[in-house]
Amino acid sequence: MRTVLKKILTAMRGGVNELGEAVVDGQGNRILEQELRDAEHELKQAKQELASLMAEAASLARQIRTEQDSASKREGDARKALAAGQEELAREVAERIVGHERRTTELTQTRELLQQRIAGLKERVQRAEKQLADYRRELQVVKTNERVLRTTAQIDTNINSNQSSLGTAKDTLERIRERQAREEDRQTASATLEKELTGADLDEKLKAAGIDGDKDSVNDVLARLKGNPAQ
């Protein structure tokens, strides 16, 4: 019993899979178009994220320049303090310089990592755009082929069927020929009947047998005239 139930469940799963595949096959173009629209939406989001990261990288670059400018200015201040014999003041300024340089290093490292990520994202976006364009072209080819196949099937179904224009034209031609044949038969029968009623058919039969009544009568008249010349 368990074996039977297992086979039934397996058959049901197989039927569901076949139904799903049939739906996918029947709606393939529509599914592909939706998938491409989804991909375009995802690509748009990726571009927005990339633009945001590039803006952040630009902001980091400005912060780095600010820290570098501040460090350069403080170096000038420290030199002036040393020149004035204010070593403690120069040390305090030097501590500020160290802070600027440390922040410059941290910001530079962060920006470099960000630039690497941006470069990777740019490559992915470019690759995705190329693939999307290729798929768009392939979709156009597939849709064109689908129209060709559909048109061919329609031609095979309509033109080769008995209900097509060519099929009905053939039937009409056959009816015309049949009507003409019936008319020819009617005319032939009418002519035959006319000959039978007037005796023309008998005369034709006599002529066919070598017996010509009119010719024989003429010969008789000539023979009589020859035998009885005029006085």
> Positive or negative CA dihedral for 44, 49, 51, 54?
negative
Q: Is the pLDDT of residue 47 over 70?
A: yes
| Structure-model confidence comparison of residues 205 and 105, the more confident one | 105
Which CA distances in Å does 223 have to 163, 182, 210, 211, 228?
76, 51, 20, 18, 9
Q: Which of 17-26, 32-41, 198-207 has the highest mean pLDDT?
A: 32-41
Residue 10 pLDDT: 58
Residue 75 pLDDT: 92
Q: Is the pLDDT of residue 107 over 80?
A: yes
Amino acid identity of residue 100, one-letter, is: H
Q: What percent of the chain has pLDDT over 70?
A: 68
Q: Which of 169-173, 183-187, 188-192 has the highest mean pLDDT?
A: 183-187
pLDDT bracket for residue 105 (50, 70, 90)? very high
CATH architecture assignment, domain 2-157: Orthogonal Bundle (1.10)
For all residues of the chain together, what is the average pLDDT?
A: 79
Kindly list the domain boundaries of the chain, sorted by start residue.
2-157, 194-226
> Positive or negative CA dihedral for 12, 14, 16, 22?
negative
Q: Is the pLDDT of residue 218 over 80?
A: no
Tell me the per-residue pLDDT of 125-169, one tens digit each, with 9 for 90 and over: 999 999 999 988 988 888 888 888 888 877 777 666 555 566 677
Q: Where are the alpha helices (DSSP H) in 84-208?
A: 87-159, 165-198, 200-208
- Section 162-181 average pLDDT: 74
Per the CB < 8 A criterion, the answer to whether 67 and 104 are in contact is yes
